[in-house]
Structure 1
């Protein structure tokens, strides 16, 4: 059954373009949430330094213990999967658009 998936995508290139856009937007969303999380942790550290409290670096899991923050990247190494998603999505979209313009 899995061997039919590439044929399903290539049969109508709009599906392949939609897949590429989905991957591109998913990676961009993850990076955007990571930037917002970085701003939240930085703001927390600044607020604590103004109050003269010596606190170590805090993570999003410490700031928001009731929220699932396992998927939010907090470092450059954590951003690599999201960037990979974006690169794959961009590659799929551009390749399928070139195929659509060349053959249809």
Structure 2
């Protein structure tokens, strides 16, 4: 199975470059969604805290109950996964470009 993957990439290195770019985009979208979610929960928490004596904890699922939020990073593990996707994407783009130069595509 691994031989097929290697052959698939080595026959046309541009596939690896496109895969890397897709991983970089996914990483950026995850980071952006995580930051926007953190900003939204903090803003709502501060605004409702102004009306009360203590600042309540607001979860992202409480703000957007109709939308799936399982993919939005909210912890160190989620942001670590997004960082890993970005690093893997950068590696894939760089390696694909090297293969392109070697094979002369």
Q: Say yes or no: TM over 0.5.
A: yes
In the other structure, the counterpart of 1:69 is 69
In the other structure, the counterpart of 1:42 is 42
Following superposition of structure 1 onto structure 2, how do residues 1-104 of structure 1 map, counting pairs within 5 Å? 3-52=3-52, 54-104=54-104
Question: Which whole-Å deviations, capped at 9, do the CAs of 1:20-51 have from their partners, x for residues lacking one?
Answer: 11111111111111111011001101111221
Number of residue equivalences: 104
Shift of residue 76 of structure 1? 2.2
Question: Which whole-Å deviations, capped at 9, do the CAs of 1:63-100 have from their partners, x for residues lacking one?
Answer: 21111001101122221111101100100111111222
SS at match of 2:5: helix
Shift of residue 101 of structure 1? 2.1
Q: Which sections of structure 2, spanning at least 5 residues, go unmatched? A: none
Change (3 A) 1:71 1:53: farther
Alpha-carbon distance in structure 2 between the residues aligned to 1:53 and 1:71: 33
Instruction: Give TM-score scaled by structure 2 length.
Output: 0.87
Alpha-carbon distance in structure 2 between the residues aligned to 1:4 and 1:95: 18
